[in-house]
Amino acid sequence: MYRILVADDEPIERLVIDKKIKAFFPDQAEVVLAENGIQAVKLFFEKDCQIAILDIEMPGMNGLDAAAEIKKESPHSSVVFLTAFDEFNYAKRAIEIRALDYLLKPGSDEDLVNVLEEAFNICDRYGSGVSTVDRAPIARPHDDENDTPPNVFVGQVQEYIDAHYKEDIALLDLAGVFGYSDVYFCKLFKQNFGKNFITYLNEYRMDKAKELLANPAINIKDVSALAGYRDANYFTRVFKRMVGKTPSEYRIGVMGI
């Protein structure tokens, strides 16, 4: 059972996220609710949580400070921020946190599910509270200079994903490559692609997996790695949710067997 802390000073926001998590992952996740940053830090450790979904603007202690406290004691825990576009003045501070992703309000159910499945995968692969390898913060992000035309930005990002989708890439990797803080890059990505990075990457990998499954010469066990997923069980779970069939069922349908 994965334990997820959800912290937001708005009761309705807390309940909405809580309800969605329980609806999508009824037998996989236990949700702990907090109404401010101070309470979030306290409950995260008291309840031995592995994942924290934190609003940024909260009284007493904001989400960034709460995340910093959590990371100090549990440096590899998965932290996801809840934020709105008008809060991107926090971008310079957020670069130090090394969050898994940012859910932009109002977020979609698909974005939430994809982010949490990635967090679950991290827990499964590395153990409770252990995340992917830390990357060094990128120096001097040019968050105040969006001088790249949208079509150029999209082309550059797509080119990078084309070359690296088989690797363990995350939003912070792309942010570093393009010289932005994580939060600001998240804003640009959402504006230009209409979805968050993890959702886009999963959809991209699913398309690759479908192409591979259409080739009977490729073993289904190898499709997972070739599509960019280390864990075959995680790949199967994501594939079935997004495609509606298991990889084996999809191949049977494609081959007309």
Are residue 255 and residue 166 in the same domain, yes or no? Answer: yes
Are residue 195 and residue 90 in the same domain, yes or no? Answer: no
When pLDDT is cut at 50, 70 and 90, the band that residue 191 belongs to is confident
When pLDDT is cut at 50, 70 and 90, the band that residue 246 belongs to is very high
How far apart, in whole angstroms, are the C-alpha atoms of residue 118 and residue 151? Answer: 28
CA torsion sign for 103, 104, 107, 108 is: negative
Give residue 212's domain range: 148-257
Phi, psi of 52 (to 5 degrees): -125, 125
How far apart, in whole angstroms, are the C-alpha atoms of residue 238 and residue 202? Answer: 8
Its pTM stands at 0.74
State how many domains the chain has.
2
How far apart, in whole angstroms, are the C-alpha atoms of residue 104 and residue 229? Answer: 25
DSSP-assigned beta bridge partners for residue 24: none
When pLDDT is cut at 50, 70 and 90, the band that residue 135 belongs to is very low
The mean-pLDDT minimum among 55-59, 172-176, 250-254 falls in: 172-176
Are residue 162 and residue 101 in the same domain, yes or no? Answer: no
Q: Which two tokens stand for residue 21?
A: 């998590």
Are residue 157 and residue 256 in the same domain, yes or no? Answer: yes
Q: Which two tokens stand for residue 89?
A: 């003045």
- Which CATH number covers residue 166? 1.10.10.60
The 10s digit of each residue's pLDDT in 70-109 is: 988 887 788 998 877 555 566 556 556 677 888 877 778 8
Are residue 45 and residue 117 in the same domain, yes or no? Answer: yes
- Which CATH number covers residue 20? 3.40.50.2300
The residue with greater pLDDT, 138 or 104, is 104
Are residue 26 and residue 68 in the same domain, yes or no? Answer: yes
Phi, psi of 81 (to 5 degrees): -95, 140
User: What pLDDT, on a 0 to 100 scale, did the predictor assign at position 186?
Assistant: 81
Are residue 9 and residue 117 in the same domain, yes or no? Answer: yes
Flag whether 239 is in a domain. Answer: yes
Cα–Cα distances in angstroms (integers) from residue 67 to residues 17, 175, 212, 255, in the given order: 18, 19, 39, 48
When pLDDT is cut at 50, 70 and 90, the band that residue 176 belongs to is confident
From the centroid of its chain, how far is CA 143? Answer: 21
The 10s digit of each residue's pLDDT in 35-72 is: 999 999 999 999 999 999 999 889 889 998 999 999 88
User: What pLDDT, on a 0 to 100 scale, did the predictor assign at position 129?
Assistant: 38
Flag whether 139 is in a domain. Answer: no
Cis (ω within 30 of 0) for the bond into 11? no
Q: Are 7 and 63 in contact (CB under 8 A)?
A: yes
For helices 197-213 and 109-126, the axis angle rounded to 10 degrees is 80
In whole numbers, what is the pLDDT of the chain averaged over residues?
Answer: 83
Q: Is the pLDDT of residue 128 over 50?
A: no
Q: Which two tokens stand for residue 215?
A: 């080739």
What percent of the chain is helix, strand and coil (3-state, nearest 5)?
Answer: 55, 10, 35
Flag whether 178 is in a domain. Answer: yes
